[in-house]
Amino acid sequence: MNVVEIWRYPIKSIGGERLDAANVTPLGIDGDRRWGVRDVSTGNILTGRRTPKLLMATAAIVGGQPVVTTAEGDVISGSLAEMSSALSDWLALQVELMAAGDEGGTFENPMDVELEADWVSWTGPAHAFHDSSRTRVSLVSSATLGDRDVRRFRINVVLGDDDEHGDGKPDSEDTLVGKRIHIGASVQLDVTKQIDRCIMVTRAQPCLAADLDVLKRVIRERSNMLGIGSLVETGGRLAVGDEVVIS
């Protein structure tokens, strides 16, 4: 396998940017999930599960700071206070754009995806707004994605199809769970888990219509698992074309 795409999502649940290369730190892709949009009334970090409109914007890091472009083409930048005010106007909700800190964010998810009911909440890890303490870098193979759009799943690294086993079938990232992998010259990841999917993958995004069948298909074909989560053992530079080697 080798790296064919790299994605970074600077603001939790807002669309991200595709990169040719990235630095990897103990927190994951440098700048990934570094900021979140906090609902002032509840204190929760908003996601596309509760606030689907977030998915209709994209974010990039410019000069070390996040810059948001809405679906309407408006650019939101400046200080965190200025961006918080603009995002509040755009969402019609009082929110605060904040950097991740020592306390993890609180997130929500509906257990009943068809009725969007039975909401549960949990607290994620510190210093970056990831859902799970067992995932800092997420990966998926092209074989697993198939005709699915990677943007629905907010995965960091897409791996190219190989047939290392010589059985005529492209390799899946699932074979990497529980193993240590090296990517490029220095990056070393400990693959901890398969990633279970939620209602967010069904939401509309720019160029992607709302589609509940996306989740139903993942449940039916893959027992609701798509992609793998990993922790960073050794950071470094990651680039498109880098080879993935199992240690």
For residue 63, what is the DSSP state?
T
pLDDT digits (tens, 9 = 90+) for 232-247: 999 999 999 999 999 8
| Average pLDDT value for residue range 46-58 | 96
Q: Average pLDDT, whole number, for the chain?
A: 94
Contacts of 85 (CB under 8 A, 6+ apart): none
Neighbours of 195 (CB within 10 A): 23
Q: Which residues pair with 25 in a beta bridge?
A: 28
pLDDT digits (tens, 9 = 90+) for 141-192: 999 999 999 999 999 999 997 655 444 456 789 999 999 999 999 999 999 9
| Average pLDDT value for residue range 217-245 | 97
What's the pTM value of the predicted model, to 2 decimals?
0.93
For residue 104, what is the DSSP state?
P
Neighbours of 31 (CB within 10 A): 25
Domain formed by 3-246, architecture: Beta Barrel (2.40)
Task: Return the domain boundaries, the chain.
Answer: 3-246
pLDDT digits (tens, 9 = 90+) for 92-102: 999 999 999 99
Contacts of 21 (CB under 8 A, 6+ apart): 6, 237, 238, 239, 240
Percent of the chain with pLDDT over 90: 91
pLDDT at 1 over 50: yes
pLDDT category of residue 65 using cuts at 50, 70 and 90: very high
pLDDT category of residue 113 using cuts at 50, 70 and 90: confident
| Average pLDDT value for residue range 94-122 | 94
Predicted confidence at residue 168, as pLDDT, reads 47
Predicted confidence at residue 178, as pLDDT, reads 97
62, two tokens: 């410019």
Predicted confidence at residue 164, as pLDDT, reads 52
pLDDT at 52 over 80: yes
pLDDT at 77 over 60: yes
Distance CA 40, CA 19 (A): 32
Q: Are 1 and 244 in contact (CB under 8 A)?
A: yes
181, two tokens: 């992998």
Q: What is the DSSP string of 18-49?
A: EESEEEEETTEETTTT-EEEEETTT-PBP-TT
User: In 3D, which of 4, 38, 36, 35 has the Cα closest to residue 139?
Assistant: 4
Distance CA 26, CA 43 (A): 26
| Average pLDDT value for residue range 208-236 | 96
Predicted confidence at residue 117, as pLDDT, reads 92
pLDDT digits (tens, 9 = 90+) for 22-43: 999 999 999 999 999 999 999 9
